[in-house]
Structures are given as C-alpha cells and as structure tokens.
Structure 1
C-alpha cells in the first residue's frame, strides 16, 4: 500500500455533523461524532476517536461539518458575465440573446480559462468539491480546446470535475445572425468528440475524479429527434450519463406541443431520453403526468432556484417530485443568470423557495383551504441531501456526497463566527437556514485538504479580482 493511502487526518471535536443521507432512507441525517478519521481518499471511521501517532489534527471545536457540496449543473464560462445591465430584467429567451449569445464570441482561450477558474474558486469557497459543468462553448474550427481547459483547471484546484459536453447541430432563429462562435457542429463531429473525451478523461469508478456526460445543450431545440436517438445510443454504448436543459419556461411547453403535439417530457421519452442515466436542468414547468413519467423512469433533475428566480421562470416543484420518487439534485446554473453562483446561496434559496411555492397554493378555509402555509415543504435535511448525496447519485458517483465510512472524504468544516449565525439554537443548520458565507476552516476533496483556514492554496483573491475586472472591460469593449 502506498504512503498516500496510509496518510491519516483526524477532524476532531465537531459541534455537529450533517451526513447528507436522505431522511426517508432510515440512515441518520446527523450524527454526534464528534470525530472523523480520513485515511487516504476515504472516510475510515466516525465516533469518539483517539489520535494516532503523527496524525494530522483538524480542531473542529464549535464547527459544523457537512459533506462537500455536489453541483450538478453550471456554465462556468459565464462567470465573467454577471449583472449585464441589458439582461438583468430579461426573461429566458430575451436574456439568451442579450447576454450569453451576445458575448460568446469574446471568449478566447485566456478569457475562457479565467472565467472557469473564477467560477470554480467561487464554488470551492462555499464548500463545493464536485462540479458538473454544462459547457456548450464548441463550434467548428475553434482555436482552443475548452474541454481540456476545464479539466486542467479542476485538477489544479484539486476538485472532482464532470464535463457535461454540450453543443448543437441546429440553432434557434435568435442565433441566426450571430457570429461564428454560435455555428452548429455536425452530429458526426459532436459524437466523435464525445468518443475522444471519453477515451481521454472518463473514469467509471464510483469515486471518479473525472467524468464525461453526453449533454446536447437543449434537446428540444439544439438537435433533431433522430439525433436525440443517435446521441442516446452513443452515450449508452460508451457507458455515459445524459443531460440537457428542459422545461425551464412555458416556452418549452409551447414548442413541444406546437412541433410534436406532446409534452416536453413525453417527447423526450419517445426519443430515448428518459431513464436513471438521465437528468435535466430546471424542470420548472412540468405537469402531474410528466412528474409521473420522470418518477417511473428514474429521470432526475438539477434544481437551479436562484437562476429560475432571477429570470422569472418560476419555482420547480422538486418537493413534490421527491415525494413521487424523482431523483433531486441542486445546480447553480450560469453566473450570468445567477449573480451569486455558489452552493451556500443555492441551498438557502432552495430551502426558502420550496416553502414559498407550497405557501402560494394555500387558500382560506372558507374557500376550501386546508392549511395555512408551506413551512413543511422541504426540511433542512432534505436540502442537504439534494445538494450532496442526491447530486452524487444523479452523477453516478455512489461513494460520494455522504459522511459515512467508506465514502470519499469530501468534507466541509464550517466555523460559524459571523454575526448572522449568532443566536442559532441549532448551529448544525446554520449554513442552510442563515445563508451568507460561513468561514471555511477546512475543505477536503478526496482526502486532500484544499482549503486551510478559509484560504485556497496558491489563490490570490486580490489578483483574481484585478484580472477579472480587466477581462470584463475588454469583453465590453468587444461588443461596444
């Protein structure tokens, strides 16, 4: 056994440990610990543990411990497109043309790399170590390999990275007059690149640090029905999972019924795009029959509540979906439609929005109502599960996302020393219910400590801020 496998770390005297387990499964959602031993890449033991000789000790006194977050849907290149004034009050279709499509041609290799690094650092500082990025910056004769950059930057930071390889073989009308960076690929070149990436990066193991996913950007619009079946067949031949956008707004419903006389989910099912190896971003506008189809087929969702709120799309009924058996995860979506693209903000919004959605349906008794509010819609434990082990399951990483013996040692140690957390009767729930950004005393990714006392190794935040401000100015000059 290698020396690395023998290396041990003891997280000691935690005030509370949230496990990431699903409340309905009968496993404890929190444990007293108070200690966790990491050996190599995995969690070896939990309980009252005595230090071993030469063991590294992390003092977690007054700290709460969570599984590191698992983000199942992002667009990292958008990290340089936050708060665009022309798009800030636009709904989805108008916003697509105004912001991401308008600026996409401005992304050369340097700016793409900077945006990716910025987005990853923002996520890490919230306690996230697994990122699934829906990258759709691909077009014929590109001058740089966006896939390689994503894997390179993730490896530098020591995090787990899942490439959701997006792309399109056809365009919407709103893209027709935009530059070459929006030109579609052929289906042959798209699948050929998926095969190349799978051979180079894809690891099918249960704690893999690198994965590839078949992810045409929006199956309803970006590829043909015949190509949907082609991509599904290629993915399953290669052992890959499948992902896309779906039903983010009512526009998806209008399009599906106009073009195919079916609901979006039923249309996807007829073209081999439902199953336990498939998950969709958003699913805001879904009816009861569609939820039944998702549940029956085991098709999952990446819930992105902040982006859905920012664009005015609505609130996905994920609490109802979860009760019906639909796999639920959480994604932050792109920073251009979510100006705080981190997992603490996202889980805080998830907790609030599900309650607000149920509360909006409450009626007074004289109109047939039966309840006052929706505060029982989603518990803190539900939200933590969706953002950790739930996401890992959707990504096909069954040994990730939970604090339990034998799981990958992906662990966030939060110190709640900001006034927003003072006065909590139950500090364990602080990161979810109070939001903000708790001090990250330590963050472990596959057993490696990548954050020490709220600092990421080799990351100068002042320099990063200077570089990003300069890049934003240059991007704005490009479109002036």
Structure 2
C-alpha cells in the first residue's frame, strides 16, 4: 500500500545508539515503502490506519549469516554432541548428496518462515551446497522463496575449489568446483539478481565457504578482485575454533586474520562469521580496516566453540552484526533466540574472565557487559551496515519501512517493568501484530499470507525421512 499510519505503539525502539535508541513518539507514518515521520501524529486524509495499541515497535531484524539448507538437519543425531570438525563430517557433509530440488526448497521455506515469525526482514544466506553437475539451481530457489515471502534476501554464494580429502575418491556431491566455473556463476548471479542499492531487496556476495581452506591463496585474492570490480561484498567463515589458528600458522606462517589481510580479505566491504578465537593483534587489524563480524552465539555455544569477544571487537572498530548460522548447529534458528543468547553470553564471558579479588575488594561480574540497546543495534542497524544496506535497519524518517510490531500477550512477558525490552531479555516468540518489509505487510496478526504451517510441518517431516533414507540411515 502506498501509505499507512501505524498508531499507538507502546514504545518505538529505533535500532540506533545512545539517547536515540528509543523514540518518544508512538506513531509511524509509512509512504511508498519509506518511513516519513515518527511522533504523535495526526492522521492524514485517506490514509489507512493500523492500530498497534500495546505493541512494541522494532526495526526488522537483519540476519547476516545463515545456512538455510540446514533447516531440515535440526537435532541430527550423528552430530548432536560433536564439536565443529566432527559435526561437519557427521551432519552437513554427510547429507549433501541427499538433497534434491524438492527437499532443498522445503528446507529454504522452513528457514525463511521461521525467521519471518521472529520479526526478521533481511536474510543473508551463506549457501555452499554446490558441486559439479548439480542437477538443480539452488540460488534460483532461494531467491524465489524469499521473493514469495516478501523478505530482503542476500545470497552469499559459497564455493570451494579444494578439499582436505583426495578428490578422485570423493562422491560427486563432495567434489570441489572448478574455479573458472565458480567465478562464471558469480558473474551470472550478479548480473541476474544483484541490486546496487542501499535498500535492495536482492543482493549477491562473494563467499568462499572457508577463507582459509576452500581455495588457494591466489584464488582467494582473485575472488576479492572480481568482487570489487563487480561492486559486491565479501563474506566467509573465519576463526570459529583454535584449529584455524593452528592451520594458518602451519600452512602460511601467519595468523588467520593476517592471511586474509594479505590476500585482500579485510575492509569495510568484508565480514566474517564467528571470529571466536582471535589474538589481540588480529582484533586490532580487523578494527583498523573496518571489517565486520556476523556473531552467532547459539551455534558457537552448541558446538562448544566458545564466545566471541564482541565488546572488545566493537571497541576496536569492528562492525558488529548477528547471524543465526545453520539450523543443523542451532535448533532455534530465529533472531529472537539469537538476540537473547547474545545478551546473555557477553555477560557470561565477562564474568568468566573477571579476576578474583583476595584483597577485600569488590569482585566485578559481567552484568553490565552488553545492554539491551546494544543487542538491538547489533541485530538491526549493525547488520544493515555490515551488508551495505544502509537505507534499512533502523526506525527513522527516510529509512525503509522494515518494522516488527510485537504484541506481548503471552505470560512469558507479563510482569516486565519495561515491556520494550521483552523480545531480547525474555526470549521466546512474541506474537506479531504485523511485520512490514519495504512498507509491505508481509505478516499480520501472527499469520503469514499464503503459508499453510500445518502443511509445511508435514512437508518438512516427509523431507527429513527422504534425507535419512538417501543418506543410508533409514530403510
């Protein structure tokens, strides 16, 4: 609709920093997909009104790192109690060949619907399910599913030209791509889908699966050069565990971040997922170059990787955002769960590192490590900045109307002295009075138009059985 007035919000959380984190007004005027006014507003003539009485307004969450194909790998038994290396072999790589066009589409739909129902309006999917001769175009499916739901979608096109095993002994679905074929597909996808706009609905990103392991150093540099010539950003995994540091020193006599910097993979157009295990000089280098992070606290906890030093990274100048990561290592793959975990884990990390006092002084815990306003900012305007979608991510005049209206009608939220902080501090899944993306109402009264959740549940259960059968785990 060209114009909409959202009236009577209980509180408006803007996603901005400091004193701007909350707006004193209660109404939001949306025109042609853009917020044009916030305050206590009169109703313009011939303007539809949405009553948001009792609701908390947030910017739509910006998820900067996901693996949507893993939406059918939640709680997979073989990898449930494994750390990263063993989990990769047991879960995502064991099931790669089991995906066909239909099961992949169901996985993408489940993941996107789950995210939308948490109030997420922008998804960056680090999609690395590619192999030579792949019989379906997974990128097309991802864009189709995102478009059908009305969500902003960023394809981080993963890939690998080398593996740690012997290529001739690998099954087809585990074989690496040829570098020229991968780069040609990058150019095809960029030409077909990428929108060079700060409010783009579709973008493409250069995203080797692992910056340390998936290509040669020369190819890594060529990836960066092609991305910058094409006007697209760069993304990859880095320093999720101490194995990255050991491998980089063994192979390149550098730290992982030094290696990335050497081959063009730092800067304001680059962000990495995880960055859990970093040396102080690596944090300084990332900050000095304005590189970003997709912080994935739940997956890092689930895999036993640790807790990234988000406070130290931000103080150094690193751009902070939040990512869900794959549902195969995060069985609650939504942004409310992720923000709740981010809030708690930064406090836990600070408390764990606090020095005991034996001189009678006061021991200082980590209860002040991260504020709710910090977490909201990381998950909204912070994510938009990392993705270069600077016309989105906050509630302010001139910004895209990506708005989540949470209705706190579950007992989980009763008794809160400050209901505005409910989604972050209480977690769960607050209902949505409405969710807008680019001014379009994509969810209303907790319902997604055109989505039959009961049927999606049946489709997902059937797809899981198919995957288990094809992987040889069910007869």
Is the shorter-chain TM-score for this pair beyond 0.5, marking a shared fold?
yes
Q: Map residues 230-241 of structure 1 onto 2, 5 A cutoff.
A: 230-241=222-233
Structure 2, unaligned runs of 5 or more? none
Q: 1:12 maps to what in 2?
A: 7
Q: 1:67 maps to what in 2?
A: 59
Q: 178-187 vs 300-309, which deviates more? A: 178-187
Aligned with 1:64: secondary structure? strand
Work out which of the residue numbers 378, 389, 408 in structure 2 matches 1:386: 378
Deviations 1:12-49 (A, max 9, x none): 111101000123xxx60001210001111100100111
2:13 aligned with 1:21: no
2:46 aligned with 1:54: yes
2:184 aligned with 1:184: no
1:372 Cα offset (Å): 2.1
CA distance in 2, matches of 1:140, 1:399: 37
Q: Map residues 81-480 of structure 1 onto 2, 5 A cutoff.
A: 81-173=73-165, 177-366=169-358, 371-479=363-471, 480=473
Asked if the contact 1:102/1:178 (under 8 Å) is kept, the reply is no
Work out which of the residue numbers 72, 78, 81 in structure 1 matches 2:70: 78
Asked if the contact 1:101/1:178 (under 8 Å) is kept, the reply is no
CA distance in 2, matches of 1:104, 1:174: 17
The number of equivalent residue pairs is 472
Aligned with 1:456: secondary structure? coil
CA distance in 2, matches of 1:176, 1:48: 67
1:323 Cα offset (Å): 1.4
Question: In the superposition, relative to structure 1, how do residues 111 and 174 fare at CA in structure 2: closer, same or farther (>3 Å)?
Answer: farther
CA distance in 2, matches of 1:75, 1:175: 24
1:54 Cα offset (Å): 2.9
Root mean square deviation, CA, Å: 1.3
Asked if the contact 1:359/1:372 (under 8 Å) is kept, the reply is yes
Structure 1, unaligned runs of 5 or more? none
CA distance in 1, matches of 2:149, 2:194: 19
CA distance in 1, matches of 2:289, 2:314: 14
Deviations 1:359-400 (A, max 9, x none): 001122117987421011111011000000000000001110
CA distance in 2, matches of 1:131, 1:140: 26
